[in-house]
Structure formats: structure tokens, C-alpha cells
Chains A and B, each alone.
Chain A
Amino acid sequence: MKREETVKIHSSYLEGERVPNFKTLSGLEYKEVYTAEDTTGARELPGNYPFTRGIHKTMYRGRLWTRRQQSGYRSTKESNERIKYLLSVGQTGINMDPDLPTHLALDPDNPLAHGDVGLQGSSIVIYEDMVDLYRDIPLDQVSNTMIVEAPTSAVIIAQYLLLARERDIPWEKLIGTIMNCPLTQFVGPTYQAITTFFPVKFGVKIALDVMEYMVRHAPKWNIVNINAYNIRETGVNAIQEAAFALALAQDYVRGLIERGLEVDVFAPRIGFFRAVHIDFFEEIAKLRAMRRIWARIMKEKFKAKNERSMWFRTACQTSALPLTAQEPLNNIVRAGIQTLAAVLGGVQSIHTTGYDEAFSLPTEESHKLSIRTQQVIAYETGVVKSADPLGGSYLVERLTDELEEQIWELMKVIENRGGFVQCFMDRWVEDQITKMRHQLGEAFTSGQQPIVGVNLFRDERDLTKINIFRHNEEWQQQRIQEIIEYKKNRHQEPVQRALEALESTVRKRPEENCIEAIMKAVENRATLGEIMDTIRRAIDFKRPGL
């Protein structure tokens, strides 16, 4: 009799269903089983040097991580509404993202900027934007992260300090973070992306200006956050993510020491922002290994005495790379698992990436779901009730040791090449990233990195529809016009005077801290683009369009 079965069986019972390999995402081998012989065991308690098990003794028993979803789109007024919405559903920190022209220090009326105004964040160009952005929000009570890199960070921080002054909030009471890292914040350390509109060396110089100024005037403020998330999202693995970020942080520490600052004065205000990818145990082990390495670097290499200087404080975002446009609801599961890894890894704040990531900016609905994901883990699962619950796991401890070793190795290579900034300028970093991207494409095609619903179990019939955030095209034109009018209608003389003073300072004494000169320009109603074009001119840098 003719067989007529037509149902396709993915993995038959006889074959046994199996994953394609037993490696971590960065290529380390998972052993069949781990035993006491694989590890010397957790050597210290949470809150004790080198802080493998967490930087605090009680971890989440004492205080939960901060729920800090990024937000920002179109006008600062609309972003202010979204911030208020997020706070109303239980977000505990603010995380504000400007649009691309703002990141690259271009005004909306610059022809290069027209198509991108207000799309991936909010347009923040003039002091008045800052006023609108944080209207009604108590800047001394909620910690506020501003996702912006040098050189733009100098203008943004100037606007922010002026806003605080205007509202009678002493600078010493400001709590929050300026990301400030010129090499990683925009899209990770890819060469063309971050050298086209501003030179790297002077970008690092301005980043150090911001750090120095804030250490001296706003001691509770976090002065730099090395964006390892963006490093990872270029396609590199966990080992590279960690080594690149830690090597870069050392460059900043050296830069500040060269300016005569005591390591224990500024080091407690350095933070990290990490990716949490989908390889559950590797990501947890990575977080533990990085804490250990940072503590050792700060104590042994930079001779820090204050334990806080040795704390690897880290925010994180669940990686968007494993999220898919196919069957987008699966992303809720992925982000939930990634968020759990972040919690078990002992991070200080979390952004859970929205399930609509492969389509658009998050809708209000998706934003809320991200917060709820974290709240379910925090309040329902019980995983927060003991510090470092995975400490002593044979597998986790062994993987922590292995990753630590590999990260140190790679950091040595970078140090021998003159540090991370040098490696970036020599395009060594670029070469590493390109190789990894090609590998990523290969792993995706071959199925060695399985993505359910995409390169396996793909279902072409899937028609899941989700709500998608839509942009309003008319708004761009309005915003461009608004800035043109603003420039036309202000008192021109004080603007010119402030910009000329800035230019002359930077030209004659480029090593001098330029934050106060920038603040003067902001106070006199100069725009972001005007201020940065002035600096570009002073250092003879030609950006596209000039």
C-alpha cells in the first residue's frame, strides 16, 4: 500500500532532537557535566573584593535594580510625556535618548540632518529643549541617564546644569549619568561611524573635560558609562565585549589621572552599560568575571584604596540581536529570559528590549510590557531573595573563571598595542568587528546559531500583526522651521561674543577644560550645532557639508 503521510517531522523520536553544538556563543565548550573538580568554589561573599558575587552584601534584598527603559522621540515635549507615563507604571529611573543629529552635533536645519530629525530619539538642540524635556520632573529625586556621547555631551551637560541652576537645585544633589563615551555610545566602535563628524582624539579630550568638570561640581553624578552594549551589538562575542570595554575604561582612568585627579575621587563615578545576550550562563558568568577583573585593575594597577572605586557598577540592556521580526511575540520570551540572566548576573539597572524592536521604536504598550517583565521577575519569582543565587554552581563558577582568563588575555593584546583608543585609531578594532560580522552571517545561515522561527522551525504562514510606532513626517518640517526661527529671533550679539570666546579658547589653549566656555554659549542661546561647529573650526576639522 502506498504511504500517504505528508506531515513533516522536524526531529524524529528515533534520531533524538538535539541542539547543533555544545559551545557558548563566544565559542567556549560546555562540558557534559561540571563537578566540584571544575572549580575552586566561590571564594568570597557578595560585597567582598573582588566582588565576583556582586558589589553589595545584600544585593537585591537591600534594593532592587533600577528599571530604566530608554525613551525619546520627536520633540522633547512628547518625550517628557513618555517619561511621565513610564514613571507612572513603575519605572524607577529615566533613560533619555536624543535623535541622530543631536548625537552627531548637527542642528535640525542642517541639510545633512533633515531626514533623521526626531526619529531615533528626541531633538535636543537648545536650552529650551532641556526645559521641556524635564518639566515637572524632580532632578534631585530620580536618577536620570542621558544617552549622549562626547562631544555633544558637553553641550547637553551644560544645558542640564543651567536647568538645575534655574530651578534652584544645587549641582551637588543631581543624580544620574551622562554616557559621554565618544568611542562606544553612538553605534559601538566602528570607524567611519564615529570619525566622520568629529575627530576621535578631541572627542576623548572633551569627554575628559565633562568628567573632570562633573567630578569637581556634581560629585553624585556618574561621569562616564562605557557602552559595552553597543560594542556587543556590532556582532562581537562576550569576551571581546568585555575586553574592549574594560580596556577602554582604563584609557579614561589614565586620562583623568594625568589631569591630576585622585583615582578614588573619580573612579566611583565610572559606570558600565552591558549587553545581556541570549546565552544564559555565559552572560551571567561574563558579568561576574568583569566585576572581578575591574576590581583587580582598580586595586592593583591604579592603587585605589576606596572599595567603591573597585565596584564594577553596571546597567544593562537585553540584547536586540537575537530578537526577530518573524513571530515577534517570541521576543517577549527571549527578553524575559535575558532579563532573568541580568538579574542573576547582579546588575544595577535594566532596560528590557521591546518585542517590537525589529520593527520600530517601542510603543507605549511595548514599553509597559518591558517594565512588567522586570516587575514579574522582581516581585513574583523569588530570585531576588538571596544574593548571587548561582554562586557555587560548578558550571557558573567554572565559566566565570574561563571567561575571566580569556578576557585578560585579550586585554593584554590591546594594552600591548597601546590601549583601546589606539587600537581603534589603527583600525585594529574595525578588523575584529568585521571578522565577527562575517562569522555572524555564517552562523545564521548554517544554523549553528539557531534562531527559532527564523533559521529553524520557520513558519512562512505566520501573519502575527503587532502595533507599530509610527513617525509623523510633518513634525520634521515644523522642527526644522522652529530652529531656523529661533536662530533668527534671538539677540545675536551675545551669541556671537560667546562663540568667538569659545573659539579663541579652544584654538589658543586646546588643553584647557572647555565646559564653562560652552556653558556661556548655551546661556546666550547658541545651539548645539553652532557650538560644535565653532569647536570644529577651532581645531581645523572639516566635517561633511562644511
Chain B
Amino acid sequence: MKKHGKKRILLGKMGLDAHDNGIVIIAKWLLDAGFEVVYAGLYNSPESLVQTAIQEGVDAIGCSFLGGEHLYYTRRLIDLMNEKNIDNMKLILGGVIPPDDVEELKRLGIACIFTPGTMRDTIIEALNNLFIGSK
């Protein structure tokens, strides 16, 4: 599935928040920049997202939040990935996440966090850097 060397990213929202302007635009930006996008849409649970990630053999999982639910779901997602010994997938977050929580989430091992107003080139550059050296 990665014959052409394209990196695969699973994008989805967890929980019940359905604000998806951001993640829909990001999906387009990533496609345009040469990534493969697996779009899981809304209402995912950490379990369903991890399952899809394994099935699709993705290189990263990207989740978007808006309503203050980011810590609850991200902690569960990380626990689940640890439980399953998944160490070859990066975690990326985006959306309305207050500065203090950005720090906390980085401590938990999130590779990149893109809050509102991040420019397209910044995101693409960060993701390209993220995969440098990984195959």
C-alpha cells in the first residue's frame, strides 16, 4: 500500500462534536501536498479509530477537537495504542486547544498540534519533517 512512498494519514474526529470545517480543509491540503488520506469522519471512538488505523496501515493519526474534549479522548487513544504496542504511528492533533493543554498533550507524546490560524505551509512542512528518516 505504500509502494509509491506516500505517507498515509488517518483523519477523524472522536466523541460527539461534529464541527468539521477544519478537518475537511486539512484533508484537502494534505491530499494536495501528496499525502494519502484515510478519512474516518465524525463520531469515532478511540477503539474504532485505532482499529481503522491498523487495518489501513497508516503512518499517522490526526484528530480534530473543538469543545474541550481533547484531553479525555487523546489520553484514551494513547493508552489504547500503548496497550496494543503500536509505536510506528505518529499522533497529530488540531483545533481549539488552549495553550496549557498543548503543553500537556506534547508531554503525552503528541507529535504536532495545530491550533486555529495555522497556515497551510506550516502544517505541510511540519508533517514532512515528521516523516524524515522514517520509511
A contacts, CB < 8 Å to B: 100-101, 103-104, 106, 112-116, 119-120, 186-187, 190, 192-194, 196, 233-235, 324-326, 358-361, 434, 437-438, 440-441, 444-445, 451, 454-455, 465, 468, 470-471, 473, 476, 544
Taking a contact as CB atoms under 8 Å apart, the answer to whether B116 and A325 are in contact is: yes
Taking a contact as CB atoms under 8 Å apart, the answer to whether B116 and A438 are in contact is: no
Within 8 A of A (CB), among B36-86: 41-43, 45, 67-69, 71-73, 76
Which residues of the other chain, B, contact A187 by a CB distance below 8 angstroms?
18-20
Roughly how many angstroms separate A473 CA and B16 CA in the complex, as a whole number?
17
Taking a contact as CB atoms under 8 Å apart, the answer to whether A120 and B67 are in contact is: yes
Can you sample 5 A-B contacts with CB below 8 Å? A100-B16, A120-B17, A192-B43, A324-B116, A360-B98
Taking a contact as CB atoms under 8 Å apart, the answer to whether A115 and B115 are in contact is: no
Residue B1 interfacial (CB < 8 Å): no
Taking a contact as CB atoms under 8 Å apart, the answer to whether A441 and B20 are in contact is: no
Residue B2 interfacial (CB < 8 Å): no
Residue interface bits B113-134, CB-to-A below 8 A is 1, else 0: 0011101110000000000000
* Least CB distance, B69 to chain A, in whole angstroms: 5
Taking a contact as CB atoms under 8 Å apart, the answer to whether A112 and B45 are in contact is: yes
Roughly how many angstroms separate A183 CA and B67 CA in the complex, as a whole number?
21
Taking a contact as CB atoms under 8 Å apart, the answer to whether B68 and A358 are in contact is: no
Which residues of the other chain, A, contact B115 by a CB distance below 8 angstroms?
325, 358
Contact residue among A115, A324, A360 (Cβ-Cβ distance under 8 Å from B117): A324
Taking a contact as CB atoms under 8 Å apart, the answer to whether A235 and B21 are in contact is: yes
Taking a contact as CB atoms under 8 Å apart, the answer to whether A361 and B68 are in contact is: yes
* Least CB distance, B6 to chain A, in whole angstroms: 20
Which residues of the other chain, B, contact A359 by a CB distance below 8 angstroms?
96, 98
Q: Can you name 20 extra interface pairs (CB under 8 A) apart from A434-B24, A438-B24?
A: A100-B15, A103-B16, A115-B15, A115-B69, A116-B17, A119-B67, A190-B20, A194-B18, A233-B21, A234-B21, A235-B21, A324-B117, A359-B96, A437-B25, A441-B25, A441-B120, A451-B117, A454-B117, A476-B72, A544-B43
Roughly how many angstroms separate A360 CA and B43 CA in the complex, as a whole number?
21
Residue B28 interfacial (CB < 8 Å): yes
Roughly how many angstroms separate A440 CA and B24 CA in the complex, as a whole number?
11
* Least CB distance, B29 to chain A, in whole angstroms: 6
Within 8 A of A (CB), among B1-40: 14-21, 24-25, 28-29
Taking a contact as CB atoms under 8 Å apart, the answer to whether A100 and B67 are in contact is: yes
